[in-house]
A and B are shown apart, each in its own frame.
Chain A
Amino acid sequence: MLNFVIRRLLTLPLIMLAVTFLIVLVMQLIPPEQRAVAFTTNLQQLGRVQEIIKTNHLDGSVFEQYWLWLGQALGGNLGFSRTSGETVVATLLSRFPATLELTLFTLVPLVWVGVWLGGQAAVHRNRLPDAVIRIIAVLGYSIPSFVLGVWLLVIFYGALDWLPGTGNISNDSAVLLMTGSVRHVTGLVTIDALLSGRLDVLWDGLKHLILPAFTLLVVGIPALIKGTRASMIDALHSDYIRTARAKGITERTVIHKHARRNALLPVATLISLSVSGLLQGAVLAETLYGYPGVGAWAAQAAAAGDLPGVLGFALMAATIVAVINLLTDLAYTVIDPRVRYA
C-alpha cells in the first residue's frame, strides 16, 4: 500500500515533465521574435528583441530551450502576459480565487444532483423516470454552454432583470471590498463576506454565481448521470444484491445500503473528470458572464495570441488535473477495501 502511494507520488513529477515539454514544443510553432515578447515587461524593451533572443537562446534547440524554461518555471517565472499587463504567475494568483469559487459552487450541486438522478434512472430502469432522466442527459450533452448561457442571459438578465449579467460582484460590494469593510481573507467573495458578517455582500456574490454555475451544471451533469446509472445498474445485477433480496430485506434498504454504496465507488473517478470539465467550461462561462477568473483571461490571451498567458493557464489546468487524479487514486485505497495496491 505504502509502496503504491510512493510510486504513484513519483509519477506526478514525470507527468509534469512530459506536459511542460509539450508546452515548450508547442511554443516552437511561433517564431523566436514573437516568443521574445514573453521576456519583456514594457513596450520600450521591444527594441531589444534580438538581444533577448540571444541571451535566452530562443533560437537554440528544443531541449536547450526546455532546460532554460524549466529553470525559470521552477523559479516561479512563466513569462509576461500582454493581455493582463502583469506576469503570468501574478495574473494566475489574482484571478484563481474567482475560478475556485465558481468551481466549488458548481461542483457540489453537480455531484449531488447528478448522482441522485443517475441512481434514480438505474432503479427505475426502462420506465418513465429513466426515460425522463436520460432525456435530460442527452439535452445537456447537446446544448452548448455558450448557447444556454446566452439564452439564460436574455431571459434572467435582459427581460426579467432578476440576476446580474456580468462580473462576480456589484459595484457597491466592490467598494466595500476595496475599503476593507469586507476583509480580504480567502479571495472568495462569498466566504470573505461571511467571515466579515456582511450578509448583503454574500447575497450579492451568490446572485452573481447563479447563472454561471447553473450553465456549468447543465453542461456537466450528463456525464455524472450516465456514469452513476451504469455503475448502479451493474451493482443491482450483482450476486450480493440477489442474496440481500433473498434474505427478505426491503427494497429500500437493498438500494440504499447495499447497492448504492458499491455503485458510488466509480463516482470518485467521475468527480475528478468533472473538475477537469469545469476547468474547460470556465473558459466559456467566465467569458460569457464577464466573470473575472482565470478562464476568461485565458480566452482573451488565446484570442490575442498571448502565448505565455495561454500556456500558463494550460500548465495550471494540467497541474490541477494531475493532482486531482493522484488524489482520486489514493482515495480508492481508502474508500474501497478491495483495492489493495501491492
Chain B
Amino acid sequence: MSAVTPNSAQRASRPASRSVLARTFRRNLPARVGAVLIGLYVLVALLAPVLAPPQGNCRRALTLSETQVVPGPAAYLRELLAPPAECLQMPRQGFAAQPKPPETGTPLGSVGGYDIRYGLVWGTRTAFFLGIAVVAITVTVGGFIGLAAGFFGGWLDNILMRLTDITFAFPGLILVLVLVAALGPGLQNIIIALSLVSWAGLARVLRSEVLRLRELDYVAAAHGLGSQRWRIALRHVLPNALGPVFSIVVLEMGSLPIVAGALSFLGLGTPLGFADWGQLIALAQKWIQGPPGEPFAYWYVTLFPGLCIALYSLGWNLLGDALGEQLDPRNR
C-alpha cells in the first residue's frame, strides 16, 4: 500500500523541478552566462592533463615515456581523478623568486619559479574537489540534522538547534581559522574545517522547510496509510524540502574556493607549491610594486590568478541567484 505513495510523490516532483530549471534559463541572460562560465571551468578541469601537461616529477610518477603527451584512457582517468601527489605540485621552472613574464613554455608567466598556467589549470581541479567534498559532507550532515530536528521536534530539535546557535555565535571565517590552527594546514583539514562550519546554515534552512511540510495534508495521508515515521520523513518530506537547499548549494560552490583561497593567502592552506588559486595570490602579494619606471611590470602575477578565482565564483553566484529567484514563492 505504501509503495504507491512514494511513486506518485516522485512523479509529482519531477516535472516541477524540471520546469524550475527551464524557467531559470529561459530569457535569463545572467543564468546563461553563469552556466557557460561553470561549463568552461568544468572543461578546464577535465582537460587539465592536456592544457597543462604533466612535467618532471609528475611524469615520472605516471611513468610516462619521453615523447608521450597524453597517456591512454585509463591512465588519463587516473591522472584526473586520483593523480599522484607529484602532479598536484606546481612544477618549478627555477628557483628565482622574481616573476618571469609570459613566454613559450609558461604562457601565463611564472612567479617564485612556479608555472602560473599549471597552478591555475590544476587549481581548477582542486577548487571543484574542495567544493564537491565540502558540499557533499554539508548536505548529508546538515540535511540529516535539519530533517531530524524539524520532523521529530521536541527535545531533539532543541538540542540540535542549540548546536547550530553555538556555530553561529562565531563569524564563519574566524571559526574556520580556529579549527585550521588547531588541526594544522592542508587540503584535508580545510575540508573538515569548512564542513564543520557550514552544516549549521543548511540544517536551519531545511528544518524550517520541514516544519512547514510536515503539517501538510499529504503527510497526514501517508501517516494514515500506516507509513512509518522515518519513511515519511525520508521519502515524502525530504524530497520536497530540498528546493531551497539547491540554490544554497550552488552559491556555496562559489564561496568555498574564496574561503579556501583566503586560508591559503593567510598561509594556512595547502602546502607551498600545491596547485591552488589562493596559493598563487599569496605569492603575488610580494610583487605589487614593479621596478622603478615600470609600475605594471608584474601584471600577470596578480591579474591571472585573481581573474580566475573571481570568474569561477561569479559563475556560481549568477547561477545561484537565478535559481533562488525562481524558487522564491514571491516571484510566482
Interface residues of A (CB under 8 A from B): 15, 18-19, 22-23, 26-27, 29-30, 134, 138-139, 141-147, 150-151, 153-154, 157-160, 165, 233-234, 276-277, 279-280, 283-284, 287-288, 298-299, 301-303, 305-307, 310-311, 313-314, 317-318, 321-322
Contact = CB atoms under 8 A, between A and B. Distances in A.
Closest 4 pairs (CB-CB, A-B): A159-B295, A142-B314, A280-B173, A147-B306
A19 B166 contact: yes
Interface stretch (B108-116, B141-149, B211-219, B262-270): B262-270
Contacts of B309: 144, 147
B94 interface: no
A314 B181 CA distance: 12
Given A279-B171, A314-B174, A314-B175, A142 B313 contact: yes
Interface residues of B, number: 50
Nearest to B196: A26
B157 interface: no
A314 B170 contact: yes
A311 B266 CA distance: 17
A138 B281 contact: no
B52 interface: no
Contact of A151 (B184, B258, B306): B306
A313 B181 CA distance: 12
Contact of B174 (A134, A150, A157, A280): A280
Nearest to A137: B321
Given A144-B261, A301-B181, A302-B181, A321 B171 contact: yes
Contact of A317 (B171, B262, B266, B267): B171
Contacts of A311: 178
Contact of A138 (B162, B177, B258, B314): B314
Given A157-B289, A283-B266, A310 B281 contact: no
Nearest to A161: B295
A313 B285 CA distance: 25
B171 A280 contact: yes
Given A19-B170, A142-B317, 18 more contacts: A15-B169, A141-B313, A142-B310, A142-B314, A143-B313, A144-B258, A146-B278, A147-B309, A150-B284, A159-B295, A165-B289, A233-B330, A287-B265, A301-B181, A303-B266, A306-B181, A310-B177, A314-B178
B183 A302 contact: no
Interface string B273-300: 0000010010011001110000110010
Nearest to B299: A154
Interface in B291-329: 295-296, 299, 302, 305-306, 309-311, 313-314, 317-318, 321
B181 A280 contact: no
B187 to A, nearest CB: 16
B315 to A, nearest CB: 8
B300 to A, nearest CB: 11
A165 B288 CA distance: 10
A159 B179 CA distance: 38
Contacts of A313: 174
A91 to B, nearest CB: 16
Interface in B170-211: 170-175, 177-184
A302 B290 contact: no
B254 interface: yes
Nearest to A320: B171
A118 to B, nearest CB: 15
Given A283-B173, A321-B169, A142 B254 contact: yes
Contact of A150 (B183, B262, B302, B330): B302
Nearest to A277: B171
B281 A19 contact: no
B146 to A, nearest CB: 20
Contacts of A153: 288
A19 B165 CA distance: 9
Contacts of A138: 30, 314, 317-318, 321
A23 B174 CA distance: 12
Nearest to A302: B181
B281 A147 contact: yes
Nearest to A279: B171
A146 B265 contact: yes
Given A303-B266, A310-B178, A314-B175, A321 B170 contact: yes
Given A18-B162, A18-B166, A299 B266 contact: yes
Q: Which of B172, B174, B290 has the most CB of A within 10 A?
A: B174
B182 A158 contact: no
Contact of B265 (A29, A284, A310): A284
Given A144-B310, A150-B302, A18 B165 contact: yes
Interface in B26-70: 30
A317 B321 contact: no
Contact of A19 (B169, B173, B289): B169
Contacts of A277: 171
B321 A146 contact: no
Interface string B133-158: 00000000000000000000000000
B314 A307 contact: no
Q: Which of B254, B278, B290, B295 has the most CB of A within 10 A?
A: B295
A175 B255 CA distance: 42
A310 B262 CA distance: 16
A154 B177 contact: no
A138 B309 CA distance: 14
Contacts of A23: 178
Given A138-B317, A153-B288, A318-B169, A279 B265 contact: no
